Protein backbone atom coordinates (compact mmCIF):
# COMPACT_ATOMS: atom_id res chain seq x y z
CA UNK A 1 0.00 0.00 0.00
CA UNK A 2 1.21 3.51 -0.81
CA UNK A 3 0.07 6.23 1.57
CA UNK A 4 -1.61 9.20 -0.12
CA UNK A 5 -1.02 12.20 2.14
CA UNK A 6 -1.16 15.81 0.94
CA UNK A 7 1.78 17.70 2.52
CA UNK A 8 -0.23 20.86 3.24
CA UNK A 9 -2.84 21.23 5.99
CA UNK A 10 -6.35 22.42 5.07
CA UNK A 11 -5.76 25.69 6.94
CA UNK A 12 -2.50 26.40 5.16
CA UNK A 13 -4.08 25.46 1.85
CA UNK A 14 -6.71 28.15 2.33
CA UNK A 15 -3.96 30.69 2.98
CA UNK A 16 -2.26 29.68 -0.27
CA UNK A 17 -5.51 29.94 -2.23
CA UNK A 18 -6.06 33.50 -1.01
CA UNK A 19 -2.89 34.48 -2.90
CA UNK A 20 -2.96 31.92 -5.70
CA UNK A 21 -6.51 31.01 -6.77
CA UNK A 22 -7.31 27.48 -7.87
CA UNK A 23 -6.69 25.56 -9.96
CA UNK A 24 -2.96 25.09 -9.55
CA UNK A 25 -0.34 22.38 -9.42
CA UNK A 26 1.92 22.32 -6.38
CA UNK A 27 5.16 20.35 -5.99
CA UNK A 28 6.91 19.15 -2.84
CA UNK A 29 10.59 20.17 -3.12
CA UNK A 30 11.87 18.19 -0.13
CA UNK A 31 10.23 14.96 -1.26
CA UNK A 32 11.53 15.37 -4.83
CA UNK A 33 15.09 15.87 -3.60
CA UNK A 34 14.89 12.84 -1.30
CA UNK A 35 13.43 10.70 -4.07
CA UNK A 36 16.21 11.55 -6.53
CA UNK A 37 18.82 10.78 -3.87
CA UNK A 38 17.27 7.36 -3.47
CA UNK A 39 17.72 6.66 -7.19
CA UNK A 40 21.37 7.70 -7.08
CA UNK A 41 21.92 5.53 -4.00
CA UNK A 42 20.48 2.48 -5.79
CA UNK A 43 23.17 2.85 -8.46
CA UNK A 44 26.05 3.93 -6.21
CA UNK A 45 27.89 0.74 -7.25
CA UNK A 46 28.21 1.84 -10.89
CA UNK A 47 31.52 3.29 -12.16
CA UNK A 48 29.40 6.26 -13.20
CA UNK A 49 25.68 6.81 -13.00
CA UNK A 50 23.79 9.48 -14.91
CA UNK A 51 20.19 10.53 -14.48
CA UNK A 52 19.00 12.60 -17.44
CA UNK A 53 15.65 13.77 -16.10
CA UNK A 54 12.93 13.58 -18.77
CA UNK A 55 12.10 17.25 -19.19
CA UNK A 56 8.78 16.45 -20.89
CA UNK A 57 7.49 15.15 -17.55
CA UNK A 58 7.62 18.56 -15.84
CA UNK A 59 9.08 21.25 -18.11
CA UNK A 60 9.68 23.92 -15.51
CA UNK A 61 13.16 25.45 -15.13
CA UNK A 62 12.82 25.81 -11.36
CA UNK A 63 12.17 22.09 -10.96
CA UNK A 64 15.05 21.34 -13.34
CA UNK A 65 17.30 23.57 -11.26
CA UNK A 66 16.41 21.62 -8.11
CA UNK A 67 17.19 18.35 -9.87
CA UNK A 68 20.48 19.74 -11.21
CA UNK A 69 21.48 20.67 -7.67
CA UNK A 70 20.98 17.01 -6.76
CA UNK A 71 23.16 15.80 -9.65
CA UNK A 72 20.65 15.19 -12.45
CA UNK A 73 21.00 16.19 -16.07
CA UNK A 74 18.27 16.52 -18.68
CA UNK A 75 16.74 14.31 -21.33
CA UNK A 76 15.35 16.66 -23.98
CA UNK A 77 13.07 15.90 -26.90
CA UNK A 78 12.51 19.34 -28.43
CA UNK A 79 14.08 22.74 -28.98
CA UNK A 80 12.08 24.25 -26.13
CA UNK A 81 13.28 21.57 -23.72
CA UNK A 82 16.90 22.26 -24.69
CA UNK A 83 16.36 25.93 -23.84
CA UNK A 84 14.76 24.95 -20.51
CA UNK A 85 17.71 22.74 -19.59
CA UNK A 86 20.12 25.54 -20.43
CA UNK A 87 18.10 28.04 -18.37
CA UNK A 88 18.29 25.67 -15.39
CA UNK A 89 22.09 25.57 -15.61
CA UNK A 90 22.32 22.06 -17.04
CA UNK A 91 25.28 22.03 -19.39
CA UNK A 92 27.28 19.96 -21.86
CA UNK A 93 26.90 16.20 -21.82
CA UNK A 94 24.58 16.37 -18.83
CA UNK A 95 22.08 17.10 -21.61
CA UNK A 96 20.93 14.37 -23.97
CA UNK A 97 18.76 15.11 -26.99
CA UNK A 98 16.54 12.14 -27.77
CA UNK A 99 13.95 13.24 -30.29
CA UNK A 100 12.29 11.65 -33.29
CA UNK A 101 11.49 13.07 -36.72
CA UNK A 102 14.00 15.68 -35.61
CA UNK A 103 14.26 19.10 -37.34
CA UNK A 104 17.62 20.73 -37.99
CA UNK A 105 17.26 23.48 -35.38
CA UNK A 106 17.03 20.91 -32.57
CA UNK A 107 20.27 19.27 -33.68
CA UNK A 108 21.93 22.66 -34.07
CA UNK A 109 20.97 23.78 -30.56
CA UNK A 110 22.16 20.49 -29.09
CA UNK A 111 25.53 20.93 -30.79
CA UNK A 112 25.73 24.50 -29.50
CA UNK A 113 25.12 23.27 -25.93
CA UNK A 114 27.63 20.42 -26.22
CA UNK A 115 24.93 17.82 -25.62
CA UNK A 116 24.96 14.13 -26.36
CA UNK A 117 22.77 13.42 -29.37
CA UNK A 118 20.80 10.17 -29.40
CA UNK A 119 19.64 9.31 -32.93
CA UNK A 120 16.33 7.65 -33.55
CA UNK A 121 16.92 6.52 -37.13
CA UNK A 122 19.88 5.53 -39.29
CA UNK A 123 18.90 8.12 -41.91
CA UNK A 124 19.50 10.85 -39.34
CA UNK A 125 23.26 10.31 -39.53
CA UNK A 126 23.47 12.00 -42.93
CA UNK A 127 20.90 14.62 -41.92
CA UNK A 128 22.80 15.46 -38.75
CA UNK A 129 26.12 15.68 -40.58
CA UNK A 130 24.66 17.98 -43.23
CA UNK A 131 22.67 20.29 -40.95
CA UNK A 132 24.60 20.48 -37.70
CA UNK A 133 27.72 18.34 -37.68
CA UNK A 134 28.44 15.57 -35.21
CA UNK A 135 28.57 15.93 -31.44
CA UNK A 136 31.57 14.76 -29.45
CA UNK A 137 29.48 11.79 -28.26
CA UNK A 138 26.83 10.10 -30.39
CA UNK A 139 24.27 7.55 -29.27
CA UNK A 140 21.68 5.40 -31.03
CA UNK A 141 18.25 4.32 -29.82
CA UNK A 142 17.66 0.60 -30.13
CA UNK A 143 14.21 -0.88 -30.76
CA UNK A 144 14.35 -4.55 -29.70
CA UNK A 145 11.12 -5.50 -31.46
CA UNK A 146 9.56 -8.68 -30.13
CA UNK A 147 12.45 -9.33 -27.71
CA UNK A 148 10.81 -7.07 -25.11
CA UNK A 149 7.15 -6.40 -24.34
CA UNK A 150 5.92 -2.80 -24.11
CA UNK A 151 2.64 -1.70 -22.56
CA UNK A 152 -0.52 0.26 -23.34
CA UNK A 153 1.05 3.68 -22.78
CA UNK A 154 4.14 3.40 -24.96
CA UNK A 155 2.89 0.57 -27.23
CA UNK A 156 4.62 -2.61 -28.34
CA UNK A 157 8.18 -2.12 -29.69
CA UNK A 158 7.36 -3.64 -33.09
CA UNK A 159 4.55 -1.13 -33.52
CA UNK A 160 6.51 1.85 -32.19
CA UNK A 161 7.91 4.59 -34.36
CA UNK A 162 11.02 4.83 -32.19
CA UNK A 163 14.50 3.45 -32.67
CA UNK A 164 16.68 1.30 -34.92
CA UNK A 165 16.39 -2.41 -35.60
CA UNK A 166 19.20 -4.77 -34.62
CA UNK A 167 20.80 -4.78 -38.09
CA UNK A 168 20.33 -1.02 -38.55
CA UNK A 169 22.04 -0.41 -35.23
CA UNK A 170 25.27 -2.08 -36.28
CA UNK A 171 25.18 -0.34 -39.65
CA UNK A 172 24.69 2.99 -37.88
CA UNK A 173 27.70 2.57 -35.59
CA UNK A 174 29.82 1.44 -38.52
CA UNK A 175 28.82 4.42 -40.66
CA UNK A 176 29.27 6.99 -37.87
CA UNK A 177 32.70 5.56 -37.07
CA UNK A 178 33.70 5.83 -40.73
CA UNK A 179 32.62 9.49 -40.64
CA UNK A 180 34.97 10.21 -37.75
CA UNK A 181 32.80 9.89 -34.63
CA UNK A 182 34.96 8.48 -31.84
CA UNK A 183 32.72 8.34 -28.75
CA UNK A 184 29.48 6.38 -28.56
CA UNK A 185 26.61 5.45 -26.28
CA UNK A 186 23.62 3.13 -26.54
CA UNK A 187 20.00 3.81 -25.60
CA UNK A 188 16.63 2.13 -25.38
CA UNK A 189 13.18 3.02 -24.07
CA UNK A 190 10.54 0.34 -24.42
CA UNK A 191 8.16 0.67 -21.51
CA UNK A 192 6.34 3.38 -19.58
CA UNK A 193 4.88 3.49 -16.08
CA UNK A 194 6.02 -0.05 -15.32
CA UNK A 195 5.67 -1.37 -11.75
CA UNK A 196 7.33 -4.77 -12.28
CA UNK A 197 10.93 -4.40 -11.13
CA UNK A 198 12.24 -7.40 -13.08
CA UNK A 199 11.31 -5.68 -16.36
CA UNK A 200 14.11 -3.16 -15.85
CA UNK A 201 16.63 -5.85 -14.94
CA UNK A 202 15.72 -7.88 -18.03
CA UNK A 203 16.10 -4.79 -20.22
CA UNK A 204 19.54 -4.13 -18.71
CA UNK A 205 20.65 -7.70 -19.46
CA UNK A 206 19.57 -7.34 -23.08
CA UNK A 207 21.37 -4.03 -23.46
CA UNK A 208 24.53 -5.26 -21.75
CA UNK A 209 24.70 -8.23 -24.11
CA UNK A 210 24.26 -5.85 -27.02
CA UNK A 211 27.08 -3.62 -25.75
CA UNK A 212 29.37 -6.64 -25.69
CA UNK A 213 28.37 -7.55 -29.25
CA UNK A 214 29.11 -4.03 -30.44
CA UNK A 215 32.59 -4.25 -28.98
CA UNK A 216 33.28 -7.68 -30.42
CA UNK A 217 31.91 -7.02 -33.91
CA UNK A 218 32.79 -3.34 -34.39
CA UNK A 219 35.63 -2.68 -31.97
CA UNK A 220 33.60 0.08 -30.30
CA UNK A 221 33.76 0.33 -26.51
CA UNK A 222 30.62 2.21 -25.55
CA UNK A 223 30.90 4.94 -22.91
CA UNK A 224 27.41 4.41 -21.51
CA UNK A 225 24.23 2.43 -21.79
CA UNK A 226 21.07 4.44 -21.23
CA UNK A 227 18.35 2.10 -19.99
CA UNK A 228 15.63 4.70 -20.51
CA UNK A 229 12.95 5.59 -18.02
CA UNK A 230 9.62 3.94 -17.57
CA UNK A 231 9.74 3.34 -13.82
CA UNK A 232 6.13 3.53 -12.74
CA UNK A 233 4.54 5.04 -9.67
CA UNK A 234 1.69 3.68 -7.55
CA UNK A 235 -1.20 5.85 -8.70
CA UNK A 236 -3.63 3.66 -6.76
CA UNK A 237 -3.26 3.43 -2.98
CA UNK A 238 -3.29 -0.38 -3.15
CA UNK A 239 -0.30 -0.47 -5.53
CA UNK A 240 3.28 -0.91 -4.35
CA UNK A 241 6.08 1.37 -5.51
CA UNK A 242 8.99 -0.03 -7.48
CA UNK A 243 11.78 -1.25 -5.22
CA UNK A 244 14.66 0.83 -6.60
CA UNK A 245 17.17 -0.94 -4.39
CA UNK A 246 16.12 -4.30 -5.85
CA UNK A 247 16.36 -2.91 -9.39
CA UNK A 248 19.79 -1.41 -8.74
CA UNK A 249 21.16 -4.64 -7.27
CA UNK A 250 19.68 -6.74 -10.07
CA UNK A 251 21.31 -4.54 -12.70
CA UNK A 252 24.55 -4.67 -10.68
CA UNK A 253 24.54 -8.47 -10.87
CA UNK A 254 23.93 -8.35 -14.62
CA UNK A 255 26.79 -5.87 -14.96
CA UNK A 256 29.14 -8.19 -13.11
CA UNK A 257 28.09 -11.21 -15.17
CA UNK A 258 28.07 -9.62 -18.62
CA UNK A 259 29.94 -6.32 -18.74
CA UNK A 260 32.99 -6.85 -16.54
CA UNK A 261 34.17 -10.14 -18.11
CA UNK A 262 34.01 -8.44 -21.53
CA UNK A 263 36.48 -5.75 -20.45
CA UNK A 264 33.84 -3.03 -20.36
CA UNK A 265 34.05 -2.29 -16.64
CA UNK A 266 34.26 1.44 -17.36
CA UNK A 267 30.73 1.46 -18.83
CA UNK A 268 28.50 4.14 -17.30
CA UNK A 269 24.85 3.49 -16.54
CA UNK A 270 22.34 6.14 -17.50
CA UNK A 271 18.61 6.51 -16.99
CA UNK A 272 16.08 9.12 -17.98
CA UNK A 273 13.44 8.82 -15.30
CA UNK A 274 10.81 11.54 -15.24
CA UNK A 275 7.58 10.23 -13.77
CA UNK A 276 9.42 8.26 -11.06
CA UNK A 277 11.25 11.37 -9.79
CA UNK A 278 8.63 14.11 -9.65
CA UNK A 279 5.36 12.29 -10.34
CA UNK A 280 4.37 11.32 -6.77
CA UNK A 281 5.14 14.78 -5.42
CA UNK A 282 2.89 16.96 -7.52
CA UNK A 283 -0.77 17.70 -6.77
CA UNK A 284 -3.58 19.42 -8.67
CA UNK A 285 -5.73 21.53 -6.36
CA UNK A 286 -9.21 22.47 -7.58
CA UNK A 287 -12.39 24.02 -6.20
CA UNK A 288 -15.89 22.53 -6.56
CA UNK A 289 -18.12 24.89 -8.56
CA UNK A 290 -21.25 22.85 -9.29
CA UNK A 291 -23.12 19.66 -8.54
CA UNK A 292 -25.38 18.24 -11.25
CA UNK A 293 -27.85 15.41 -10.63
CA UNK A 294 -29.24 13.64 -13.71
CA UNK A 295 -28.67 9.98 -14.47
CA UNK A 296 -25.52 10.28 -12.36
CA UNK A 297 -24.19 12.63 -9.72
CA UNK A 298 -21.66 14.99 -11.30
CA UNK A 299 -19.22 17.25 -9.46
CA UNK A 300 -17.93 20.12 -11.62
CA UNK A 301 -14.53 21.66 -10.87
CA UNK A 302 -12.72 24.85 -11.85
CA UNK A 303 -10.08 22.61 -13.46
CA UNK A 304 -10.52 20.44 -16.53
CA UNK A 305 -8.74 18.17 -18.96
CA UNK A 306 -6.55 21.15 -19.89
CA UNK A 307 -5.03 20.90 -16.40
CA UNK A 308 -4.71 17.11 -16.24
CA UNK A 309 -5.18 15.13 -19.43
CA UNK A 310 -4.20 11.61 -18.34
CA UNK A 311 -7.62 10.39 -17.13
CA UNK A 312 -9.27 11.38 -20.41
CA UNK A 313 -6.37 10.22 -22.60
CA UNK A 314 -5.52 6.90 -20.98
CA UNK A 315 -8.37 6.24 -18.57
CA UNK A 316 -5.68 6.81 -15.95
CA UNK A 317 -6.45 6.75 -12.25
CA UNK A 318 -5.52 9.69 -10.02
CA UNK A 319 -6.34 9.46 -6.35
CA UNK A 320 -8.64 12.21 -5.03
CA UNK A 321 -9.13 13.50 -1.51
CA UNK A 322 -11.23 16.40 -0.22
CA UNK A 323 -9.32 18.81 1.99
CA UNK A 324 -10.61 18.54 5.55
CA UNK A 325 -12.60 15.38 4.80
CA UNK A 326 -9.69 12.96 4.61
CA UNK A 327 -11.17 10.73 7.33
CA UNK A 328 -14.82 11.00 6.30
CA UNK A 329 -16.55 7.85 4.98
CA UNK A 330 -16.50 7.37 1.20
CA UNK A 331 -20.23 6.78 0.96
CA UNK A 332 -21.12 8.80 -2.13
CA UNK A 333 -20.58 7.97 -5.81
CA UNK A 334 -19.55 10.75 -8.19
CA UNK A 335 -18.23 11.51 -11.65
CA UNK A 336 -15.69 14.31 -11.21
CA UNK A 337 -15.75 16.56 -14.29
CA UNK A 338 -14.29 19.60 -15.94
CA UNK A 339 -16.01 22.10 -18.22
CA UNK A 340 -14.63 21.23 -21.66
CA UNK A 341 -17.09 20.44 -24.42
CA UNK A 342 -15.96 16.82 -24.47
CA UNK A 343 -17.73 14.02 -22.62
CA UNK A 344 -14.42 12.41 -21.64
CA UNK A 345 -13.46 15.51 -19.63
CA UNK A 346 -13.68 13.53 -16.43
CA UNK A 347 -11.10 13.06 -13.69
CA UNK A 348 -12.95 10.12 -12.16
CA UNK A 349 -15.96 7.97 -13.01
CA UNK A 350 -18.14 6.33 -10.37
CA UNK A 351 -15.60 7.25 -7.70
CA UNK A 352 -16.48 6.55 -4.06
CA UNK A 353 -15.82 9.72 -2.08
CA UNK A 354 -17.12 11.55 0.98
CA UNK A 355 -20.08 13.87 0.49
CA UNK A 356 -18.86 16.82 -1.59
CA UNK A 357 -20.13 20.36 -1.11
CA UNK A 358 -19.86 23.44 -3.30
CA UNK A 359 -16.63 25.24 -2.45
CA UNK A 360 -14.76 22.12 -1.31
CA UNK A 361 -11.12 21.81 -2.32
CA UNK A 362 -10.35 18.64 -4.24
CA UNK A 363 -6.77 17.40 -4.37
CA UNK A 364 -5.63 15.05 -7.14
CA UNK A 365 -2.47 13.13 -6.42
CA UNK A 366 0.54 12.12 -8.51
CA UNK A 367 0.37 14.99 -11.00
CA UNK A 368 4.06 15.89 -10.76
CA UNK A 369 4.77 14.35 -14.15
CA UNK A 370 2.70 14.56 -17.33
CA UNK A 371 0.21 16.74 -15.48
CA UNK A 372 0.63 20.44 -16.19
CA UNK A 373 3.06 19.43 -18.94
CA UNK A 374 0.30 18.00 -21.13
CA UNK A 375 -1.95 21.04 -20.78
CA UNK A 376 -3.55 22.66 -23.79
CA UNK A 377 -5.90 25.49 -24.68
CA UNK A 378 -8.89 23.75 -26.22
CA UNK A 379 -12.11 25.69 -25.65
CA UNK A 380 -9.93 28.68 -24.79
CA UNK A 381 -9.12 27.25 -21.38
CA UNK A 382 -6.11 28.81 -19.72
CA UNK A 383 -3.29 26.80 -18.18
CA UNK A 384 -2.90 27.06 -14.45
CA UNK A 385 -0.15 28.26 -12.18
CA UNK A 386 2.55 26.02 -10.73
CA UNK A 387 3.66 26.41 -7.12
CA UNK A 388 6.56 24.98 -5.17
CA UNK A 389 6.24 23.90 -1.55
CA UNK A 390 9.80 24.69 -0.52
CA UNK A 391 11.81 22.63 1.91
CA UNK A 392 11.38 25.39 4.53
CA UNK A 393 7.58 25.26 4.19
CA UNK A 394 7.23 28.50 2.23
CA UNK A 395 5.41 28.73 -1.10
CA UNK A 396 7.13 29.89 -4.29
CA UNK A 397 5.38 30.72 -7.55
CA UNK A 398 7.29 28.90 -10.33
CA UNK A 399 4.84 29.52 -13.17
CA UNK A 400 2.10 32.15 -13.23
CA UNK A 401 -1.33 31.29 -14.50
CA UNK A 402 -2.04 32.12 -18.13
CA UNK A 403 -4.15 35.17 -18.91
CA UNK A 404 -6.45 35.96 -21.79
CA UNK A 405 -3.77 38.28 -23.10
CA UNK A 406 -1.41 35.28 -23.23
CA UNK A 407 -4.01 33.25 -25.09
CA UNK A 408 -4.69 35.98 -27.65
CA UNK A 409 -1.03 37.02 -28.07
CA UNK A 410 -0.51 35.17 -31.36
CA UNK A 411 -3.73 36.60 -32.76
CA UNK A 412 -2.39 40.14 -32.43
CA UNK A 413 -0.57 41.28 -35.53
CA UNK A 414 -0.84 44.16 -37.97
CA UNK A 415 -4.47 44.25 -39.02
CA UNK A 416 -5.63 41.89 -36.26
CA UNK A 417 -9.21 42.03 -34.98
CA UNK A 418 -8.04 41.24 -31.45
CA UNK A 419 -7.20 44.00 -29.03
CA UNK A 420 -5.89 43.84 -25.50
CA UNK A 421 -8.40 42.48 -23.01
CA UNK A 422 -9.68 44.71 -20.25
Catalytic residue annotation: 341
Return left, alpha or beta for 352; rule: phi > 0 is left, psi -120 to 50 is alpha, else beta.
Answer: beta
Amino acid sequence: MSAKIFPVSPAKLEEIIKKYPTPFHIYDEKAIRQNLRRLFHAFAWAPAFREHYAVKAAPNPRLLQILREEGAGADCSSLAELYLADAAGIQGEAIMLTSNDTPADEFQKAIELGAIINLDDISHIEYLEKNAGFPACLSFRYNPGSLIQGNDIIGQPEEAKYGLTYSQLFDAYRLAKEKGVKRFGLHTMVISNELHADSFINTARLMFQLAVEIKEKLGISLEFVNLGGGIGIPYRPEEEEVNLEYVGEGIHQAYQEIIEPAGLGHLAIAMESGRAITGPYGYLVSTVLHEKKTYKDYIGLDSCMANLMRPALYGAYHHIVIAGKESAPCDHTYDITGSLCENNDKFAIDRQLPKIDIGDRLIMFDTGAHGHAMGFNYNGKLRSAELLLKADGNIELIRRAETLDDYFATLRYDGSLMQATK
